Every structure is written in structure tokens, then in C-alpha cells.
Amino acid sequence: MLFLSAYAQEASQKITIGAGLYLQTQPYEGVKNILLPSPVIFFDNGLFYARWSRFGMYFLGDKNDDFSWGFSITGQPRVNNYKASDSLALTGMDDKKSSIEAGLAFSAAVESSYLEVMVFTDVLSRYDSWIAKAELGYDFELGKFKFYPSLIALYQSSKFMNYYYGVSHDESLTSSYAQYSANAGTQIGAQTYVKYPLTDKIAGFVNIRADKLPSQATNSPIVAKDYIYSGLISLIYTFEY
């Protein structure tokens, strides 16, 4: 911790800030896509960090130009939700709400490659359980474009799956669906960030992502699609201090 604090104080730091529109498709029949404004922040001074909309603080690690690693506490929003009134197909179902997640993360970077492993718990007690995420990525340049592709595995507990994809006994009595209980499952995704400079400090920034829902979700009677697609389009501004 003392090493990380000293690094943060001595090194010149870059921070990227911006804003854009975030879109996420819904797997439920008749439910409109999620569309909302999103801040964009990227920052890592060896003590605190921000990665789009996830924030954290290191408590153990080492950071240098060739190799860095760190353990941190971290938090992020969970943008999963629907209102039963959004779709006639969901009449009689309970509303499902987004949440805030917090937990522990391990990250490591070697040159242009990086690995992150995270475990989160549900702070707002929506699904009242935990999930785990692993992401492996690599960045490269093609002309003026910078690409940051990665593969993602997201393990979701049975409580998470049942909150967002299950049909409870009470819901089966008020809706047209039979009761459905889901086991834990692993969601697999692929994404890339794309950055294109417009000036020395301003750039266009895009995220594109696709996730394959686990079979425990797609077998649910309220789920109509196998994939969730999401993306962000924004302008970002980078400066040093």
C-alpha cells in the first residue's frame, strides 16, 4: 500500500473523461432495449482507478511499465431490469431492478495484455447473492484506430439467475407461466473498445459487446433471445496532471 501511494504521488497521471449513450438489448419478449446516458472515466494512478463506470482502490500490488498487478476493492452498477408493464407477455410478473455491486478484484497486465478476475456481491439486495467475472484482453493499433478486444466469462449464482430469469411460485399464480427455477450458469461474452483520435486530447470512443446467455436462462419461459448485445458511443477527453 505504501509503495502504491508513493507511485501515485511521484508519477505524472493521465485521466480520461467523457460521456455518451449506452444501449443494451433485452432478452425478454416485448421489452424495450435499455438506452441511457453514461459517464466514461478511465484513470489508474496505482492507488485508485476508474474503468468506464467501475471504480476501485488497490490495497496490494506493484505497478511499473513492463508488468503490473494488484488486488483491489471495487464497485460497479448492474444494468439489468424490466418492468412487467413494459410487455404484455410479462403481465403478472414482478418487476426486476438494477443494482450496485461491490467486491474484490485481481488485475495483471503484461505489455499489451491484461487479465482481471472479480467477485461481486449485490449491495442493494436485489438478487441478494454473488457473481464472479474473468476477463482476458489485448490492445493493438491499426492506423489511427486503437482496439481493445477481450473475452469475458461471467459466473452467475442460482439466486442471480432466478431473480432475473426465474418464475416464482407466486408469479406462476398471477402470470401465464409455469414455475421455473434456474441453477447457476456461466455467461460468455466478447467485446472491444475502439478509440479514434479527433484532436490531441479529444477522441471518439465506442464499445461493442455480445453475450451468450447460459442455458439456465434461455430455458426460462420469459426469455425469448439467446444473446444480449450492448454498446456505447461517446466522446472522451484525455489530459495529464
Q: Is 58 in a helix, a strand, or coil? A: strand
**What one-character DSSP code corresponds to residue 94?**
P
Report the percent of the chain where pLDDT is more than 90: 88
Per residue, the 3-state secondary structure of 164-208, as one string, reads HHCECHHHHHHCCCCCECCCCEEEEEEEEEEEEECCCCEEEEEEE
On whether the CB atoms of residues 76 and 41 are closer than 8 A, the answer is no
Q: Is the pLDDT of residue 90 over 90?
A: yes
Determine the pLDDT at residue 26.
96
Q: Is the pLDDT of residue 8 over 70?
A: no
Determine the pLDDT at residue 3.
44
Q: Is the pLDDT of residue 91 over 90?
A: yes
Determine the pLDDT at residue 10.
53
Spatial distance between the Cα atoms of 158 and 214, rounded to a whole number of angstroms:
12
Q: Residue 104 to residues 60, 117, 195: CA-CA distances in angstroms?
A: 12, 9, 28
Q: Is the pLDDT of residue 5 over 60?
A: no
> What is the residue type of 58?
Y
Query: Strand pairing partners for 137?
Result: 114, 150
Region 60-82: mean pLDDT is 92
What is the maximum span of the chain, computed from C-alpha positions, in angstroms? Answer: 63
Spatial distance between the Cα atoms of 71 and 190, rounded to a whole number of angstroms:
24
Q: Is the pLDDT of residue 169 over 60?
A: yes
**Span 216-227, pLDDT tens digits:** 999 999 999 999
Phi/psi region, residue 111 (left: phi>0; alpha: psi -120 to 50; beta: rest), is: left
**Span 108-167, pLDDT tens digits:** 999 899 999 999 999 999 999 999 999 999 999 999 999 999 999 999 999 999 999 999
Determine the pLDDT at residue 63.
83
Determine the pLDDT at residue 65.
77
Determine the pLDDT at residue 7.
46
On whether the CB atoms of residues 154 and 131 are closer than 8 A, the answer is yes
Q: Is the pLDDT of residue 192 over 70?
A: yes
**What one-character DSSP code corresponds to residue 7?**
H
Q: Is the pLDDT of residue 6 over 50?
A: no
Spatial distance between the Cα atoms of 107 and 150, rounded to a whole number of angstroms:
14
> What is the residue type of 216?
Q
Higher pLDDT, 3 or 31: 31
Cell 425469448: give the residue: 224
Q: Is the pLDDT of residue 66 over 90?
A: no
Please state the φ and ψ torsions of residue 10, each to the nearest 5 degrees: -90, -35
Region 78-104: mean pLDDT is 95
Terminal alpha carbon distance of the chain = 22
Provide the mean pLDDT of the chain: 94
12: CB partners within 8 A, 6+ apart? 240, 241
